[in-house]
Amino acid sequence: MNVFEEHDLALLEAQGTAQNILKAARNERRSFPLTHVRNLLKAPPSVDWLVKKYIEQDTLAQIFGDPGAGKSFVAIDLACCVATGKEWHGHRTLQSPVVYIAGEGRSGLGKRFLAWQIRHHTSLEGVPLVVSEIPAALFDPENAVHVADAIEEMSEEVPGLVVVDTLARNFGAGGNENDTHDMGAFIQNLDIHLRGRFRCCVLVVHHTGHKEKERARGSMALKAALDHEYRLTKEQGGLVSMSCSKMKEHEEPPDLHFKFAAVETPWTDADGDPITSAVLDLFDGPIITEASAKPRGRNQSLALRVLRERHKRQRATLEEGGRDPAAARVLVVDWRQDCLDAGMNSNRFNEVKQSMTERGILEFSANYVTEVATEIPTEI
């Protein structure tokens, strides 16, 4: 073969290679799938609910509210219901393993999980529900990978729900939740290393803005990335309202209203007194407005004033003795005597008691009286 023939052969081979490259490129372009719109109209897409009507699987969700609004109580309630497969206040759940990433206050969480178990008569022993011992620092991608690895090592089953309580405590050093870039990195780590890796719902617990109480604190990049968002607000009479502030793909579900219920645990403090906690019960009664929660007339005002004074004194006594002031409770008999000592006619006491109970200002349990509006436990 002479030089010209070798050149012609090389040219043909080059042309063949070029044709193959073009053919491969055309095939690559054809790998982008297209479908006619009629194929989208044959049947509605299925919805994979984790909590029917409220939270889907494989989503990014958030609950937010002021301190004391019950955010952690709602998150614990959801976590326990999903882990046990128990209905969440009448809404079906998909039983799934749950990971609760706690930023702080593990001792307080323990009381709340125990209170949930007692109130719902449902054991958490053997349930696929695990709680972190330290914050997660999810702003940092390396830390996010470590968290995901730890979750994977805990069980062969992937979680259906990962709770991040709270965003601030699990954001990590070096990041600023008000900065769009930093918040974007935090969201990306949730999406890639938690939601993307496990195809689970990641539920973030967050605070309201310092001035803008209608939205969560920090960069709006978070809300833009959310599939579901719920706002918790404290109402008159001690109620907690949960309203949907974003539902990306579905109709917004109805508002829910909860009421705190005290639960006495089998644990005791150093003095042998029972340790109490609380849970959120669904409330379907009339919502107490600011006007209806105010005492009416001189006798009701007097009764509420002396109750608060007695409660304040008992809190101070407990605190001075090194005990938990939150355990302060007022006996009905002491409250009644205080009212009479302050000048109330004994014949009017029962009328005042009944009226303030019917209007949701006061609650009675055993021999104790409680002002409902003061029974909102402190957030972790």
Say whether both 21 and 138 belong to one domain.
no
Residue 72 contacts residue 84 (beta carbons within 8 Å): no
Say whether both 234 and 305 belong to one domain.
no
Say whether both 271 and 303 belong to one domain.
no
Residue 279 contacts residue 261 (beta carbons within 8 Å): yes
Say whether both 114 and 174 belong to one domain.
yes
Report yes or no on 289 lying in a domain: no
Say whether both 30 and 83 belong to one domain.
no
Per-block average pLDDT, block size 10, for the chain (380 residues)?
A: 53 54 54 85 84 96 91 96 97 97 81 95 95 93 95 88 94 89 95 95 90 81 95 83 93 93 89 89 73 74 92 89 84 94 91 85 87 50
Report yes or no on 44 lying in a domain: no
Q: Looking at residue 377, what is its pLDDT?
A: 45
Cis upstream peptide for 166 (omega within 30°) = yes
Three-state DSSP class for residue 124: coil
Residue 331 contacts residue 366 (beta carbons within 8 Å): no
Max Cα–Cα distance, the chain, nearest Å: 127
As a whole number of angstroms, the distance between CA 237 and CA 208 comes to 21
Residue type, 377: P
Domain span including residue 336 = 297-374
Say whether both 318 and 368 belong to one domain.
yes
As a whole number of angstroms, the distance between CA 380 and CA 235 comes to 20
pLDDT, tens only, 250-283: 999 999 999 999 999 999 888 888 888 999 999 8
pLDDT, tens only, 242-259: 999 999 989 999 999 999
> What are the residues facing 88 on neighbouring strands?
91
Q: Looking at residue 22, what is its pLDDT?
A: 52
Three-state DSSP class for residue 369: strand
Say whether both 60 and 112 belong to one domain.
yes
Report yes or no on 146 lying in a domain: yes
Say whether both 266 and 230 belong to one domain.
yes
Report yes or no on 77 lying in a domain: yes
Q: Looking at residue 148, what is its pLDDT?
A: 95
Report yes or no on 380 lying in a domain: no
Given 237, 254, 282, the domain boundary residue is 282
For residue 134, the domain's CATH number is 3.40.50.300
As a whole number of angstroms, the distance between CA 66 and CA 123 comes to 30
Tokens representing 85?
């497969």
Say whether both 78 and 141 belong to one domain.
yes
Residue 124 contacts residue 113 (beta carbons within 8 Å): yes
Rounded to two decimals, what is the model's pTM? 0.69
Residue 99 contacts residue 84 (beta carbons within 8 Å): no
> What are the residues facing 369 on neighbouring strands?
330, 364
Say whether both 63 and 180 belong to one domain.
yes
Say whether both 91 and 231 belong to one domain.
yes
Report yes or no on 264 lying in a domain: yes
Given 225, 257, 282, the domain boundary residue is 282
Report yes or no on 341 lying in a domain: yes
Q: How many domains does the chain have?
A: 3
Report yes or no on 331 lying in a domain: yes
Say whether both 225 and 156 belong to one domain.
yes
As a whole number of angstroms, the distance between CA 250 and CA 47 comes to 10
